[in-house]
Homo-oligomer: A and B are copies of this chain.
Amino acid sequence: MSAHPRLSLNQATIKHAPLDEALRLTSAGGCTSIGLWREPVAVVGLDEAARRLADSELRVSSLCRAGFFTFPEGAERRAALDDNRRAIEETATLAGAGAPGSAAVLVLVAGGIPAGSTDLAGARERVADALAELAPHAASAGVTLAIEPLHPMYASDRAVVSTLKQALDLAEPFDPAAVGVVVDTFHVWWDPEAFAQIARAGASGRIASYQVCDWQTPLPADVLLARHQPGDGVIDFAAFTRAVEAAGYAGDIEVEIFNAAIWDAPWPEVVASTARAFDAAVAPHLAAAATA
């Protein structure tokens, strides 16, 4: 089996596979990079996970995820920030254990509006405050915090950061090595400003991760599971991929899909179909498509 050298399989695409299986399947499918999640890492423990990642000889392209820091000051907020500090350490450890070219990138999902509140602006301010608290830790650990703007349909319950412009505005006070952004096609494809903001992100060196998956309607009953393989929906992957390339991003490209049918399919088939979808929809638009 082979796969494009810049394809990274985000572990969430085969969500129910334990870490060992995910590493083995990713390699067996010809991928050379994986995007890890904290929960399956925690199941075996960080040190053991790092050893297994090293044994796999895969690169790690990101760790998902921390964030969720929209709580007002108090015990919940302190617990969330402590958890983010732990996630920074985990990211550094895993990136150190991954093959050369691994990225010490921690994906941040901001969190929603606290229950019972209508203060979206306040929740957004607390994201900025949390970044200010965490950025020095990230910098000293050599980790990039990657703010992921999520589709506005998640703004109330999952992420009050809804656009690339907003994510870049939040990142601006910090060194790009410490705070960048995720460009995930599923979340930003609809945005009339998306291409201008991708260019802006490139100019400031802030694209920490590029994730690809597709949008289709009708949406499923659980809108969290609305993602599809690149090419199966309405997103123009040629335009996005060229824009991200032109912005100077040269790292691994993750396919991250939350989809009940894909989660229920046999894992090797999912890895193979992900590699095929990437080859068809994304790879032709990469400058180095023919290498490796």
* A contact residues vs B (CB 8 Å cutoff): 112-113, 117-121, 124, 151-153, 155-157, 162-163, 165-166, 189-193, 215-219, 221-223, 233-237, 239
Contacts and interface: CB of A to CB of B under 8 A. Distances in A.
Contacts of A112: 217
Determine the main DSSP class of A at the interface with B: loop
A157 B117 contact: no
A153 B156 contact: no
Contacts of A156: 190, 215-217, 233-234
28 contacts: A117-B234, A118-B235, A118-B237, A120-B189, A120-B234, A120-B236, A121-B236, A152-B152, A152-B153, A153-B153, A153-B219, A153-B223, A155-B189, A155-B190, A156-B215, A156-B216, A156-B234, A157-B217, A157-B218, A162-B190, A162-B192, A163-B191, A163-B192, A165-B192, A166-B192, A218-B222, A219-B223, A221-B221
Given A113-B234, A234-B113, A120 B153 contact: no
Contacts of A113: 234
B234 A191 contact: no
Count of chain copies: 2
Contacts of A155: 189-190
Nearest to A114: B234
Name the residue in A118, A120, A157, A222 with the highest tally of chain B Cβ atoms < 10 Å from its Cβ. Answer: A118
A149 to B, nearest CB: 10
A233 B155 CA distance: 13
Contact of A118 (B120, B121, B221, B234): B234
Nearest to A169: B192
Nearest to A162: B190
Contacts of A166: 192
Contacts of A217: 112, 156-157
A190 B120 contact: yes
A199 to B, nearest CB: 15
A161 B235 CA distance: 16
A152 B166 CA distance: 16
A97 B237 CA distance: 50
A184 to B, nearest CB: 14
Name the residue in A113, A190, A237, A239 with the highest tally of chain B Cβ atoms < 10 Å from its Cβ. Answer: A190
A223 B221 CA distance: 8
Contacts of A234: 113, 117-118, 120, 156
A277 to B, nearest CB: 14
Q: 3 smallest A-B Cβ distances: which pairs?
A: A155-B190, A221-B221, A153-B153
Contacts of A192: 124, 162-163, 165-166
Nearest to A120: B236
Given A151-B152, A152-B190, A152-B191, A236 B118 contact: yes
Nearest to A149: B192
